[in-house]
Amino acid sequence: MSRLTAPPYGWASVRNGGAFLLSLVAGLAVFAPRAAQAADGPPAVNPFKQLKQRYNETQQGSERIGVRTRYAFVANDPLVGSQWHLDNGLGWSDVNIQGAWSRGYTGAGVTIGIVDDGLQHLHPDLAPNYSPTDSFDFGPIINDLDPSPFYNNSGAGAGDGDNHGTAVAGVAAARGGNGTGGSGAAPLAKVAGLRADFTNFFNPNQFADATRYRSSGAVTTIDVKNHSYGISDPYVPTNAELAALNDSSAAGTIHVFAAGNERQGHNFSADGDANKKAEQNSINSIAVGALAFNGTFASYSNWGANLFVTAPTSGAGLGITTTDRTGSGLAGGYNDTAGSGIDFDPLADLDYTSVFGGTSSAAPLVSGVLALAKEANPALDTRMAKHLLVLTSDSTIDSSDATLESDGGWQTNAAGNRFNQNYGFGLIDAEALTAAATLYAGVTAPVFESVVGGVNAALPDAIVNDLTPGVVTRTFNLFQPGALEEMVIGLNISHTYTGDLQATLTSPAGTSSRLMLRNIADPVDNLSWAFTSNAFWGENPVGAWTLSVEDWFTGDIGIWQSFSATAITGSLILVPEPATLAIVLAALVVGSRQRSAGR
């Protein structure tokens, strides 16, 4: 796993950098006026060189001016040794959390909202971090400020009650360093429960309401929201939820979505292509896949051109240790025997479970790590987080992957970014991400260029079933230069069985990205859907693009009616090096004093 080394001196956080800049600005009051008061001609001492010399002196040895050093966070919790997904030292997959904790990042000052089936906020490892003012129950039965679980398990060992959200919250932000249980990735972040009722859907807007809550409009106190849920069927529109997601993302909240666990259902009753899920493929969300401890995708983990990053979770026989509903009996959560003597969880402490997992656990792990990055740089939003994940995620995992779902394995695009539809840009790295977060001030304003094309062409049937497809191809041109973020492709196709279909987009530089994978079990008749691809990230979009729609199975026919293509471009904005920024400030002070003297 690659690591980024810490930047020079104390530029380890915006706050540290700010403290140092304050000392430099204070220094200008000494250096700059002397230059302004010198006789005609160049000053005897160049203030820019003097200022730069002072900055360079702060790099040497242990004498640093105006720099406050963060204290490393140390987790003394008894179950941390079992939380291999955080940091294990065994060569297994982990998020390198200790690297971020050693830099002093704990998520302090950041609030994570858990949109889920409930949050047992009285749990001893959640209560210290619980934010009651940011919590709410959006279900149709309770609908109040208390997001506590409502439904209990239906029987011994069933684990089917409102247990999920409590476990999810623990992965993201269980209190660490308190000598109790385990730790979340962001051990000092605040956690808010945003309960939705997954049993009674009498409130159709509950997920949209939870998405907007305290992260849109005048109140934006929740910084990161985790969504460890989804719809297993393909191509289900969720317009209300998408509108809420767009509103909340525009207000600065980062939204993390589990990619889903339908890989094993592919070609049966569900579809594991996450690009067929509306919220997971939104440009305003971060879709997370599942990585087993052995460094390969979990057997259930969804894939897709929209997948952005992956994180360790259950797989290959090993689960995740996190908070569970306290006590025993039917209200006891996953680690529950209900007096039957049947216990599928070897963990003795019934307030915790060691059998949690799925992309439901991978997503809050990413949410917790992003809370650390948000602490490192309060300007962090979804777009900036994505740029930093592209820069810092570990794309060396499973280098030999050549599965069908991977879309050709790891591909390096024309911008040098590696992408794989099973992993996105790779394994999230907490140390590298928090280090990089301090180096950038934000992202340039997004630039959109869109093209709409009519096709109205019959799609030829497959020549050989699942081997040689019938293909229709169209090209379009883009003219706005920049560095690509996402490409969004809308397809409108009349077809009697859209599971026959697959589509591919190729950039002017030759990078190819499959937009959706054929699935003979997809029951949808006609297709009107927007697909997102991250595979072109960083490329220049200018030039001719090629879009192909393929029919891979015989027996059904259709017409490709039209398409749309939207390119979104933008780039990270570097924080100026302290010496450079100080020189600019010095010039401003000198110029200001010279203008004042000339009045």
Nearest-angstrom CA–CA distance, 222 and 218: 12
- Is 333 domain-assigned? yes
Q: What angle do CA 582, 588, 591 make, to 5 degrees?
A: 140
Length of the chain: 599
Nearest-angstrom CA–CA distance, 340 and 157: 9
Q: Is 75 left (phi over 0), alpha (psi -120 to 50) or beta?
A: beta
The domain tally of the chain equals: 3
- Is 272 domain-assigned? yes
- Is 303 domain-assigned? yes
Q: Are residues 178 and 96 in the same domain?
A: yes
Q: List pLDDT tens digits, range 29-46.
A: 222 222 233 333 333 333
- Is 5 domain-assigned? no
Q: Are residues 94 and 137 in the same domain?
A: yes
Q: Are residues 24 and 140 in the same domain?
A: no
Q: Which of 243, 252, 247 is nearest to 278 (CA)?
A: 243
Nearest-angstrom CA–CA distance, 315 and 318: 6
Q: Are residues 549 and 507 in the same domain?
A: yes
Q: Are residues 27 and 112 in the same domain?
A: no
Encoding tokens for residue 112?
């994570």
Q: Are residues 26 and 123 in the same domain?
A: no
DSSP 81: G
Q: Are residues 421 and 507 in the same domain?
A: no
Q: Are residues 537 and 421 in the same domain?
A: no
* Band of residue 252 on the pLDDT scale cut at 50, 70, 90: very high
Which residue(s) pair with 130 in the sheet?
Answer: 191
Spot the catalytic one: 164, 227, 255, 266.
164
The secondary element (H helix, E strand) that includes residue 457 is strand 447-459
* Band of residue 583 on the pLDDT scale cut at 50, 70, 90: low
Mean pLDDT of the chain: 85
Please state which of the ranges 366-375, 411-420, 449-458, 461-470 shows the lowest mean pLDDT.
461-470
- Is 541 domain-assigned? yes
- Which domain CATH number covers 490? 2.60.120.260
Spot the catalytic one: 94, 116, 394, 429.
116
- Is 2 domain-assigned? no
Q: List pLDDT tens digits, range 329-376.
A: 788 889 875 555 556 788 989 899 999 999 999 999 999 999 999 999
Q: Are residues 587 and 546 in the same domain?
A: no
Q: Are residues 316 and 405 in the same domain?
A: yes
3-state secondary structure of 82: helix
- Is 233 domain-assigned? yes
Q: Are residues 57 and 150 in the same domain?
A: no
Spot the catalytic one: 148, 285, 360, 395.
360
Query: Does 121 qualify as catalytic in the annotation?
Result: no
3-state secondary structure of 477: strand
| 243: Cβ contacts below 8 Å, ≥ 6 apart | 208
User: Burial code of 20-58, b = ≥16 C-beta within 10 A, e = fewer?
Assistant: bbebbeebbeebbeebbeeeeeebeeebbebbbebbeeb
Report pTM: 0.86
Query: Does 255 qualify as catalytic in the annotation?
Result: no
| Radius of gyration for the chain, computed over Cα atoms and rounded to the nearest angstrom | 26
Instruction: Please give the pLDDT value at position 68.
Output: 55
For 476, the domain range is: 447-570
pLDDT at residue 134 is higher than 50: yes
Encoding tokens for residue 177?
């360093």
- Is 6 domain-assigned? no
Q: Are residues 212 and 321 in the same domain?
A: yes
Query: Does 116 qualify as catalytic in the annotation?
Result: yes
- Residue-wise DSSP of 419-449: EBTTTBT-B--HHHHHHHHTTEEEEPPPEEE
Alpha helices in 393-458 (DSSP H): 430-437
Kindly list the distances between the CA atom of residue 492 and the CA atoms of 402, 441, 477, 526, in Å, as whole numbers in the listed order: 30, 39, 19, 8
Nearest-angstrom CA–CA distance, 580 and 506: 41
